[in-house]
Structures are given as structure tokens and as C-alpha cells.
């Protein structure tokens, strides 16, 4: 490790990996829900109660946890027209600026999602068939958004103070599978 605090770096890396695995888990749950629902409906004429509601709510969770997973690695959709044509110093400046803008946007988004979670709980919004409360799904999505804020803070710190870690992370994330 090239940092002065290898234990902290390893702990942060484990935290980042856990966020990414959590996002992958939720994607798997959504895929399983869709597969089982279609299978039961097509072959057996049976519909899982609230399958549509669960799918819709789980998709929201996947989106917010996906934001967390992609925000740290910087693997989301970008337009690098200027970035690709400047030197390493300006690339770092652009990366830090873009990450700070992303941090601001996700903090505001997290605040509004928290407000939506609280208002949904107070409104006692329920699913259609099973009459289950909807707010826990919003809460899990909000936790994913908070994870995104934390990962963007880590990304900003590493971009400023340890850019070599970001280069290694990006290279590992974009390495082709052998």
C-alpha cells in the first residue's frame, strides 16, 4: 500500500466492496422476482400477490444502491471530451470538481428521499394485495443513497490525497475478464 494508513485503507476497501455486493444482491432479488413471476404466470396461471408492487419498489432500491456502487468507481456514464485532451493535473482537477458536484447532487437527493420516506410512513401507504407498509422499501433505498454519499466522500478524499489508489481501482474495475 502506498498510503500512510494501510489499515484504514483496507477498511475503506472492505466497506466499498460491501456496498457493491449489496447492490448486486438487490439486482439478483429483482431478477429472481421477475423470473419467478413470469414463470408462475405463464406456466401455472398463478400470480404472486403484490409481485408488481415488490418489483417496482425493489427496482427503486436497485437504482439507489446502484448509484452508490457506480459513484465511487466513476463507472457511470460520462462525457470525457475535455478530460481526454488535457494533462494529468487538469484531469485530476476535473475529476475532483465533477465528484464535488456529484456529492452535492446526491446529498440533496438523499435529503429529499429521507423526507419522502418519512412522509410515506406517516401516510401509512400500503401495498395493494397484502396491505404491507411501503416505507421500509423507501428506507432501504434511502440507506443506499446514504451509502452513495459516503462513497463519494471517500472518492473525493482519495482523488485529492491519494490519487494513486483511484488509478489502481479504475484499472481493476475496467480490466477485461480473462
Asked if pLDDT for residue 162 goes beyond 70, the answer is yes
Secondary structure element (H or E) that encloses residue 91, with its range:
helix 88-123
Query: In a 3-state reduction of DSSP, which class is residue 62?
Result: helix
pLDDT in the model for residue 75: 64
Residue 104 to residue 123: CA distance in whole angstroms = 29
Mean pLDDT over 28-44 rounds to 92
Give the range of the structural domain holding residue 78, as residue numbers without chain letter: 6-168
pTM given for the model: 0.81
pLDDT band at 62, cuts 50/70/90?
A: very high
Judge residue 18's burial from the number of C-beta atoms within 10 Å of its C-beta, 0-12 exposed, 13-18 middle, 19 or more buried.
exposed
Is residue 21 domain-resident?
yes
Asked if pLDDT for residue 171 goes beyond 70, the answer is no
Is residue 176 domain-resident?
no
Compute the radius of gyration of the chain from its Cα atoms.
20
**Nearest-5° angle of CA 16, CA 82, CA 68?**
20
Query: In a 3-state reduction of DSSP, which class is residue 171?
Result: helix
Look at the chain and report how many structural domains it folds into.
Answer: 1
Residue 23 to residue 148: CA distance in whole angstroms = 11
* CA–CA distances in Å: residue 83 to residues 75, 87, 153, 159: 15, 8, 21, 15
Show the cell assigned to 125: 401507504
Is residue 175 domain-resident?
no
Is residue 1 domain-resident?
no
30 within 8 A of 55, measured Cβ to Cβ: yes
pLDDT band at 60, cuts 50/70/90?
A: very high
Amino acid at each position: 500500500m502506498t498510503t500512510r494508513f494501510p489499515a484504514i485503507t483496507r477498511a475503506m476497501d472492505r466497506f466499498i466492496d460491501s456496498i457493491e455486493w449489496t447492490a448486486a444482491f438487490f439486482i439478483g432479488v429483482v431478477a429472481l422476482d421477475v423470473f419467478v413471476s413470469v414463470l408462475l404466470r405463464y406456466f401455472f396461471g398463478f400470480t404472486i400477490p403484490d409481485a408488481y408492487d415488490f418489483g417496482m419498489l425493489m427496482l427503486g432500491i436497485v437504482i439507489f444502491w446502484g448509484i452508490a456502487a457506480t459513484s465511487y468507481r466513476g463507472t457511470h456514464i460520462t462525457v470525457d471530451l475535455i478530460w481526454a485532451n488535457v494533462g494529468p493535473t487538469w484531469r485530476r482537477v476535473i475529476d475532483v470538481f465533477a465528484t464535488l458536484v456529484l456529492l452535492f447532487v446526491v446529498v440533496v437527493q438523499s435529503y429529499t428521499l429521507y423526507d419522502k420516506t418519512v412522509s410515506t410512513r406517516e401516510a401509512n401507504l400500503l401495498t395493494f394485495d397484502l396491505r404491507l407498509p411501503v416505507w421500509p422499501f423507501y428506507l432501504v433505498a434511502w440507506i443506499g443513497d446514504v451509502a452513495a454519499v459516503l462513497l463519494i466522500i471517500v472518492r473525493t478524499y482519495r482523488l485529492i490525497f491519494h490519487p494513486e489508489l483511484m488509478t489502481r481501482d479504475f484499472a481493476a474495475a475496467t480490466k477485461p475478464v480473462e
